[in-house]
Amino acid sequence: MIVGALAPLPPLDPLPSRTLVLVDDGVPEEHDRAILAAAGGGEGSAPPALVRLGGGEERKTIDGFREILERCAEARLDRDSLLVAAGGGALGDAAGFAAATWHRGIRWLAIPTTLVAMIDAHLGGKTALNLGGVKNPLGAFWWPVAILADPRFLESLPPREIRSGWGELVKSALIGDARLFAELEEEARSRARGPPRLPSADEIGRAIEVKRRVVAADPLEEGQRRVLNLGHTLGHALETLPGSGLAHGEAVAAGLVFAAELAADLGRAPRPLAGRIAAVLARHALPARWPVERAEELFELMGRDKKRRRGESWFALPAAPGEVELAPVPASLVLRRLGAGPEEATRRDLLLR
């Protein structure tokens, strides 16, 4: 990943025969020229064609995916072509999967424009679609030729997109940067809950580094890479729960507290850890609980999750900031915790949404 002012992609070998640039229509048009320049492919390449598409989870449906394939056909992309995705995580997931399948695999370039995409969604080579009310059951590992991340894109994000990105940033700190989590804790103690701020370039870079290290050690998610699912088992269920209205990072935030409560239930973490996580989340107005009255629905949605192995529900569980373990959790305990919500200490100490 290249983080900084958007610069032209270094020349590829072979040069792209054609380049199709898909831009999320939530990206201000003022960025189009820089995106085209970055995707140019080098002297001698054909001029790139730009198409604006809707982003969001609708892009990860079969119909949304079909439109990308139709655009590839209209652009006459061949095996030496380049597909570029400039936008949020959903567009990157769908465009990356299209690149993996078009002519059995063509090159693609990721230009993340949201905080979630920069920190999480565009890293690691995972591409995916949603199907049947389940998050990401279709997909492939297909790495982009490069990821070009310009923090200036974040300046035009609405507060909710920034808040959602903080859910993923806190997750990264819990997984592999205890010092970063301690810094966020100190901020939460010293500042009242309020609108989320933009993370610093240092905070973004450290979150990216956590995921880079994990992916480098286990690129195809055969083992330890599954720690990156921290908060996502409940998070994905909350995202797909009818009427929840939660964005990805918001749902993951509640999932982090849920995982910490499960870890305490199993004796793998001290009980106060969930409250500490909730306090950091509250600083950025992120939810730290889930609808306990819909526990059965959430349990059923979690049962469809692709992270289940041989009928068992496996969770990434935080033992302490910077320490995450993988463990199966009995279904009875999962259902009980869904119905109970966070422990009283967490609810009492914080004003939770």
Neighbours of 83 (CB within 10 A): 27
Pairing verdict, β 126-131 and 134-141: antiparallel
Task: Tell me the sheet residues that pair with 315.
Answer: 327
CB 165 within 8 A of CB 116: yes
How many Å apart are CA 352 and CA 141, to the nearest integer?
37
Instruction: Give the chain's radius of gyration (CA, Å).
Output: 20
How many Å apart are CA 287 and CA 195, to the nearest integer?
13
Catalytic residue among 221, 297, 323, 325: 221
* Cα angle, residue 341 at apex, residues 339 and 347 outer, rounded to 5°: 155
Report which secondary-structure segment, H or E, holds 148. Answer: strand 146-149
Asked if 307 is an active-site residue, the reply is no
Catalytic residue among 107, 248, 283, 289: 248
Asked if 309 is an active-site residue, the reply is no
Report which secondary-structure segment, H or E, holds 164. Answer: helix 159-176
Asked if 225 is an active-site residue, the reply is yes
Asked if 135 is an active-site residue, the reply is no
Asked if 122 is an active-site residue, the reply is no
Catalytic residue among 18, 206, 232, 294: 232
Catalytic residue among 31, 71, 211, 289: 211
Pairing verdict, β 314-320 and 323-328: antiparallel
DSSP string, 48-70: PEEEEE--SGGGGSHHHHHHHHH
Asked if 31 is an active-site residue, the reply is no
Asked if 306 is an active-site residue, the reply is no
DSSP string, 293-314: GGHHHHHHHHHT-TT-BTTB-E
Catalytic residue among 171, 229, 261, 343: 229
Catalytic residue among 18, 107, 122, 236: 236
Catalytic residue among 57, 161, 168, 343: 168
Catalytic residue among 225, 268, 276, 294: 225
CA distances from 340 to 117, 122, 161, 331, 351 (A): 33, 35, 29, 14, 17
Task: Tell me the sheet residues that pair with 320.
Answer: 323
Catalytic residue among 29, 104, 155, 222: 104
Asked if 232 is an active-site residue, the reply is yes
CA distances from 218 to 58, 141, 222, 227 (A): 30, 12, 6, 11
Looking at this protein, which amino acid is placed at residue 239? Answer: E
Asked if 168 is an active-site residue, the reply is yes
Asked if 248 is an active-site residue, the reply is yes
CB within 8 Å of 78: residues ≥ 6 apart: 17, 18, 103, 106
Catalytic residue among 126, 276, 289, 337: 126
Active site residues: 104, 126, 168, 211, 221, 225, 229, 232, 236, 248
